[in-house]
Amino acid sequence: MKTWIMWTCVGSLMLNMALSAFAGKFVKMEEMCQKDQWSKENLFGPQMKIPFSFIFNGQSSDKLLATWTKTSKTEKIDKSCVQHVITWTDSQTGLEVRCVIVDYTDYPVVEWTAWFTNTGNKPTPIISDIMALDSVFQGVSPVLWHCNGDFCNAEGYTAKETPVLTGQSLAFAPAGGRPCDRAFPYYRLMFDKGGLSIAIGWPAQWSASFTGVDGGVHVKAGQEKTYLQLLPGETIRTPRITVMSWMGDARRAANLWRCWYREHVMPRPNGRPMRPRLVGHGTDTGEEFTAATEENQIRYIEKWVQRGIPIDVWWIDAGWYPCYNKEHKRKWSETGTWMPDPERFPSGLKPVSECAARHGADLLIWFEPERIRPESQLDREHPEWLLKAKGTDNRLLNLGNPACRQWLTDHVCKLIQNNGIKIYRQDFNFEPLKHWRENEEQDRQGMNENLHVQGYLKYWDDLLARNPGLWIDSCSSGGRRNDMETMRRSVPLHYTDFGYGNHPVKLSFHHILFEWLPYFKEATLSWDLQGSARFDHQVDSFSYHCGLGPMIIPCLDIRRDDYDFERVKKMLVIWRRAAELMLNGDYYPLTPIHRSAEKWVVRQFDCSGERCGFIQGIRLQKCPDDSILVHPEGFLPDVVYLFENPETGETRELAGSAVRRDGFTFSCPKREGIIWFYRVK
């Protein structure tokens, strides 16, 4: 059993209180010390305890690895990461176990993945119960922060804090094979003085348990089911495990994670950080984009430009490909023939992407390559690449098949290059788990899933490598596949299929996103005024307040001429200013998280290095309180701040000491929002 001893770092009080600046943020030296101490003991020190486990031929890895041949190699892979590779080989069977560890030198974060390869000439004995994480984290009064993920429900993205009592266990797993479906592979293990943030990078069916033991918590996590033998030359892998050490409270944990995530996880197209993006779109009548044509897409792009709205992304969602069903009606869900519909796009999508590019916008195109429908191109031409399951006519494209994956990679790369696609959006609208498990032998349980995960990640890596500047949007019936391995290659723009215009609910969803996955798309819909409509009935500034995010899509029916486009432009200027701070600042919820239309929502984003930020107050539709007093974070006592309300032009000057002492008061009518930008005068 492996142990992370919290809060016993050797050092003086001066060391414990010292701060060291990394990447423009302050990382506490004690946080780094805790991480370094545990890493040396459990990952790459001379007496490493190994924080993963498995059973091989009926024997525990704890005993086996000590008898196998061991080699190690360490190299610096960039200015802030050191990689350690430790390999064990069983001379009798040829099984090789390789642990790849990434140790961050600028943040208190360490990650690892284990790989199992059969280097012999016959099948291995059974490998089972592979745990990517199997370790005890010691500390006082443990409490686990956990969340239920996304499942197209108002109760999704609900977080809880549960004490981890000695002798009791908390167990978690997603539903149906998508990692964020009714579970969330991100945890915060909190002790009395600090804690650990733990992420499980596995875009499929994982499981995790947290068991109270004397003085701490025993944590186990991995692919949910493994009982298999490896054939000669085969390789499987564990989930990537990420552990961050932090001192202080949950706000400290969230903002340290945000900073590390921006620096080391969030994609960088063309080597540049992600920036806020404004989305334009347009459709005719029809399901999703089944009525999109070359002519109307170009016409709608031009209409956005004529309205003076400078879009950054032109979004074409599901339905641009041939998708007739048996009744000869276009249905976006008839997937498996990946080409622009020649009836509607006789010259492909290139004329659309060229029009968008002329006006400064990138073309985003939706794909769902893993779902293959009957009578589609792939169903007819390559049935050997498809996995079927009882009770559904959805076929799963088997990305664990190298020939299948290579064909898909080549085909989609050609589509990207020939059509000027800059943003690849991938969806996944059914549960794959039974497709994997119903097609496995007794001695190969977990193999289909593991090979599919490897193929899926390799497919994305190849798309990015072969198409410089491309970036990826991860979607899976909303936000059901946003684990850390997926997020290292993408951003989760469409984080849920629920409640686009349900303000109280989506504002509570935002809290989880801002803490863990800070780049996402939001919309301007207001369903309290118009029901569950697809487009705004009118321009409503309240919708823009509730729809602030790093990416925004004004839900304008661009065919109409009667919107207040001047108000749209005014609100988008405010959004652009706020979005930079939302993306790059520290996040502070200043009111409790709730889903009630009868309360205020107040939140703050603070860029301490630039000494600026904003505070936003939203008085929801039925809130009876005319005003609310909040206590913002980060204000320096010895300077004066200039506050500005960009909608009214009002300004205020307040001493930092006064804000710290007296707080900040918002007042406004029901169903209104206010933003106060601030900076040091």
Residue 4 domain flag = no
Residue 668 domain flag = yes
Token reading at 214:
């004397």
> Is the predicted pLDDT of residue 72 greater than 60, yes or no?
yes
**Domain co-membership, 309 together with 168:** no
Residue type, 322: P
Q: How far apart are CA 583 and CA 193, in angstroms?
A: 28
Query: Residues 567-577: what's their mean pLDDT?
Result: 98
**Domain co-membership, 179 together with 302:** no
pLDDT per residue as tens digits for the range 79-102: 999 999 999 999 999 999 999 999
Helical segments of 278-429, H only: 294-306, 350-358, 377-381, 402-419
**Domain co-membership, 419 together with 531:** yes
Token reading at 82:
């050191």
**Domain co-membership, 142 together with 248:** yes
The whole-number pLDDT of residue 286 equals 86
The whole-number pLDDT of residue 41 equals 81
The whole-number pLDDT of residue 42 equals 79
Please list, in sequence order, all residues whose beta carbon lies within 8 angstroms of the beta carbon of residue 529, skipping any fewer than 6 positions away. Answer: 537, 538, 540
**Domain co-membership, 341 together with 234:** no
Residue 567 domain flag = yes
Residue 13 domain flag = no
Query: Residues 552-571: what's their mean pLDDT?
Result: 97
| DSSP character at residue 2 | E
Kindly indicate the confidence band of residue 4, based on its pLDDT and cuts at 50, 70 and 90: low
Token reading at 97:
């176990």
Domain C-terminal end among 558, 585, 612: 585
For the chain, helix (H) and strand (E) counts, in that order, are: 16, 40
The whole-number pLDDT of residue 39 equals 84
Q: Which domain holds residue 616?
A: 587-680
Residue 645 domain flag = yes
Residue 620 domain flag = yes
Query: Residues 615-639: what's their mean pLDDT?
Result: 97
**Domain co-membership, 213 together with 317:** no
Contacts 24+ apart (CB under 8 A), 587-592: 587/254, 587/255, 587/258, 587/514, 587/515, 587/518, 588/251, 588/632, 588/633, 588/634, 589/511, 590/615, 590/630, 590/631, 590/632, 591/628, 591/630
**Domain co-membership, 52 together with 179:** yes
Query: Residues 126-142: what's their mean pLDDT?
Result: 96
The whole-number pLDDT of residue 417 equals 98
The whole-number pLDDT of residue 114 equals 98
The whole-number pLDDT of residue 536 equals 96
> Is the predicted pLDDT of residue 18 greater than 70, yes or no?
no
* Beta bridge mates, 386: 397
> Is the predicted pLDDT of residue 22 greater than 60, yes or no?
no
Query: Residues 379-389: what's their mean pLDDT?
Result: 98
> Is the predicted pLDDT of residue 681 greater than 70, yes or no?
yes
Q: Say how many C-beta atoms besides its own lie within 10 A of residue 488's C-beta.
A: 17
Domain C-terminal end among 585, 619, 644: 585
Query: Residues 361-375: what's their mean pLDDT?
Result: 98
- 179 SS3 class: coil
The whole-number pLDDT of residue 2 equals 52
For Cα atoms 472, 265, 49, give the angle at the middle one, nearest 5 degrees. Answer: 130
Handedness of CA 550, 556, 559, 565 (dihedral sign): negative
**Domain co-membership, 207 together with 98:** yes
pLDDT per residue as tens digits for the range 278-316: 999 999 888 999 999 999 999 999 999 999 999 999 999
The whole-number pLDDT of residue 23 equals 37
CATH of the domain at 332: 3.20.20.70
Q: How far apart are CA 103 and CA 112, in angstroms?
A: 9
Kindly indicate the confidence band of residue 3, based on its pLDDT and cuts at 50, 70 and 90: low
> Is the predicted pLDDT of residue 581 greater than 60, yes or no?
yes
Cβ neighbourhood burial of 638 (10 Å; 0-12, 13-18, 19+): exposed
**Domain co-membership, 298 together with 335:** yes
Query: Residues 164-173: what's their mean pLDDT?
Result: 98
**Domain co-membership, 413 together with 547:** yes
pTM metric for this prediction: 0.96
Kindly indicate the confidence band of residue 25, based on its pLDDT and cuts at 50, 70 and 90: low
Residue 9 domain flag = no
> Is the predicted pLDDT of residue 7 greater than 90, yes or no?
no
The whole-number pLDDT of residue 21 equals 38
What is the number of structural domains in the chain?
3
Tell me what percent of the residues of the chain surpass a pLDDT of 70.
Answer: 96
Residue 489 CA, distance from chain mean position: 10
**Domain co-membership, 662 together with 547:** no
**Domain co-membership, 531 together with 561:** yes
Residue 528 domain flag = yes
Kindly indicate the confidence band of residue 458, based on its pLDDT and cuts at 50, 70 and 90: very high
CATH of the domain at 105: 2.70.98.60
pLDDT per residue as tens digits for the range 420-455: 999 999 999 999 999 999 999 999 999 999 999 999
> Is the predicted pLDDT of residue 45 greater than 80, yes or no?
no
CATH of the domain at 632: 2.60.40.1180
